[in-house]
Amino acid sequence: MQQQGTYHQQGTHRCRFCSYHSRYAHNVACHERIHTGERPFHCRFCHKAFPHRSNLRTHEKVHTGEKPFRCQFCQRAFVQNIHLVHHERIHTGERPFQCGTCGKAFIHLSSMTRHERGHTRVQP
């Protein structure tokens, strides 16, 4: 039996602005905020606004000082798990992103992407 309401309304729902689609109307409604700029979730400390409740929860940790993700090597703490993952690569030496041209490896995808642009740049 299909659930009632728009949150879990199943079917093929399409974004009004691009080719994004989802089985759930709620996912499309949240996605469309990218296009509309709607930011309905406001920080209770500084009133900064966010498009998603999860973004707000992460941001509010800046004000509360909550850093639940702790490095197993040096005990440094982080607000987001992804920041911990990137940080721990410094300790482990893991460099999962490798330049396709020269083979140099990087901790962050963005660092590799920036590096790879240097291979395609025309030198003066």
> Is 83:69 a contact under the CB 8 Å cutoff?
yes
CATH topology of domain 67-124: Double Stranded RNA Binding Domain (3.30.160)
> Is 49:59 a contact under the CB 8 Å cutoff?
no
Task: Identify the pLDDT of residue 17.
Answer: 97
**DSSP-assigned states of every residue in 44-96:** TTT--EESSHHHHHHHHHHHH----EE-TTT--EESSHHHHHHHHHHHH----
Residue listed under structure tokens 């900064």: 48
Task: Identify the pLDDT of residue 24.
Answer: 94
Task: Identify the pLDDT of residue 108.
Answer: 94
- The residues spanned by each domain of the chain are 67-124
Task: Identify the pLDDT of residue 11.
Answer: 75
Task: Identify the pLDDT of residue 2.
Answer: 43
H or E stretch at 31: helix 25-36
pLDDT tens for the chain, residues 1 to 124? 344 444 455 679 999 999 999 999 999 999 999 999 999 999 999 999 999 999 999 999 999 999 999 999 999 999 999 999 999 999 999 999 999 999 999 999 999 999 999 998 765 5
